[in-house]
Amino acid sequence: MSNPLFNQSSSRIYFPLSGKLVILQQFVDDNLTSEYINWLNDPDVVRYSNQRFRQHNQETCRAYLKSFENSDNIFVAIYQDAKFIGTMTAYISKVHQTADMGIMIGDRQYWGKGIGQDAWITLMESLFDQIQLRKVTGGTLRCNTAMVNIMLSSGMKPDGIRADHELVDSNPVDILHFAKFSNA
């Protein structure tokens, strides 16, 4: 017996995705550059990410890329003016018709210019339009005000708080969760 709530839609996104400022492409082997690995090892870039507790190299990054093969999840390369500047992920649950997104703008010269917001909105809208998900979520630390602003300005609403859940500079910090529904 089929579940009437289960959407049989594909979890495939058709790239490229064009935003106002960015082009999103599927992350591929050619994106496994020393610059990308340096972003992951840069304490400023990963200041609010759990990546800050790991050391990355070509092998760990290749294994991460490989983890997306034969899965419903999406790993995205962000380009601005044909320059690779960051990444995004969408962890998709077809059963629940949801996706949880993440983003990293690795090239710091692109911070604070609306590029992260454009990339976020571009991928989120594509998840709703192409895969027909019912809900997209994201989370960030309360102290990551740039990411909080991206989520709020993209139409996401607060979706829960994990109080004092992670430590940043030895201080407890809340994780804020946000969500947007396809009909919102």
The per-residue pLDDT for range 103-123, each reduced to its tens digit, is 999 999 999 999 999 999 999
HEC string for 92-110: EECCCCEEEEEEEECCHHH
CA distance 103 to 81: 18
Model's pTM, two decimal places?
Answer: 0.93
Q: Is the CB of residue 76 less than 8 Å from the CB of residue 99?
A: no
Q: Which two tokens stand for residue 60?
A: 């760990």
Backbone angles phi, psi at 177, to 5 degrees: -105, 140
Provide CATH code, domain 17-134. 3.40.630.30
Q: Model confidence at 27, in pLDDT bands (50, 70, 90)?
A: very high
Q: What are the pLDDT digits (tens) for 147-182?
A: 999 999 999 999 999 999 999 999 999 999 999 999
